[in-house]
Structure 1
């Protein structure tokens, strides 16, 4: 019957790079075209953000983070987001 021999673990490398801290996510806004079938409501005026044929209407979509963790999404008409004074910062293209 064979016996197990404890093997020594090699020491950690001294030159190993430390793992970077995880990125803390913050709320942000982006501008996008309103797509057909959109069924969301504007958080500012509470009217539907709806698609209209032959119009290139834009919406602002905001990812909301609480304590660095994603919480929810909010949608705005582009004009309403500006009227609300860009609550989540200037929208990215």
Structure 2
């Protein structure tokens, strides 16, 4: 008979060393978007012929995730960058392709 093993993580120290903090990223507005800007309360709209951008923020309170906020790119600046500077790193759509590029 095999010895039983515990899958409990209660006794293990946390892998995380720093508390999670709010962050903001710049992304294209996707078709079908139905979110409202946290600054101006207007809808963040997709328009086919215009490449609208939005700032998406993961908001953490005391290191615990609380909510997501969306802003028009201009509104985030007008609001004073409430969740820190915007990360403008492009989205990696295909993680396998990105991993291949790193090993090449």
Q: TM-score, normalised by structure 2?
A: 0.68
Distance 2:81 2:87 in 1: 12
Distance 1:89 1:26 in 2: 10
Q: TM-score, normalised by structure 1?
A: 0.76
Q: Which has the higher strand share?
A: 1
Mark the runs of 5 or more structure 1 residues left unpaired by the alignment. 1-18
Q: Residue 43 in 1 paired to residue 38 in 2?
A: yes
| Runs of 4+ with deviation above 2 angstroms | none
Secondary structure at the aligned position of 1:80 is classed as: helix
Task: Tell me the residue number matched to 1:3.
Answer: none
Cα pair distance change 1:62/1:20, threshold 3 Å: same
Q: 1:66 aligns with which of 61, 67, 72?
A: 61
Distance 1:90 1:70 in 2: 18
CA-based RMSD of the aligned residues comes to: 1.3
Paired residues in the alignment total 75
Secondary structure at the aligned position of 1:85 is classed as: coil
